[in-house]
Amino acid sequence: MVQVEKIWITESAIWIRTADGKEACERFSDYPRLKEATPEQLKNYTSDAFGISWPELDEDLSFDGFLEKKNESVLYRLFMDHPELNASAIARKLGISQSLFAQYISGAKKPSEKRMNEILASMRAIGRELAELPEYAPAI
């Protein structure tokens, strides 16, 4: 586990410094919710031993993800292409911790084949539910 001793924000990224002196950042431009956030919203984060969270923006970044090579996994690409997806809600629906799910998305951890199939099946089910919504006809 990464031990972070300092977190700071610049105009374009959030930075961490680890206990062993390594520095790394995640650029806001890689995260649509962070990219569109106001400076005040970006400052309104919480952190724990595993990562940083913006509850108001529904965005979580794992510390491990800051230091690992970025792999554009299927999940990463899905969430980058569809910022309207709520990662926290999907994690809750699957019974996965939000922190672990954020690590799957960032590529810091790789889900098993079975877990990946469960995640994708759940997301497809949400898509089918949305596609089956009735047409709206305003009352006259």
| Amino acid sitting at position 85 | L
Q: Is the pLDDT of residue 47 over 90?
A: yes
Query: What number of other Cβ atoms are within 10 A of residue 59's Cβ?
Result: 23
pTM, to two decimals: 0.53
CA torsion sign for 98, 13, 25, 74 is: positive
Domains of the chain: 4-131 (3.30.2020.40)
Helix (H, G, I), strand (E, B) or coil at 35: helix
Quick one: tokens of 105? 């998305």
| pLDDT of res. 71 | 59
For range 68-92, the mean pLDDT = 81
pLDDT band at 128 (very low <50, low <70, confident <90, very high): very high
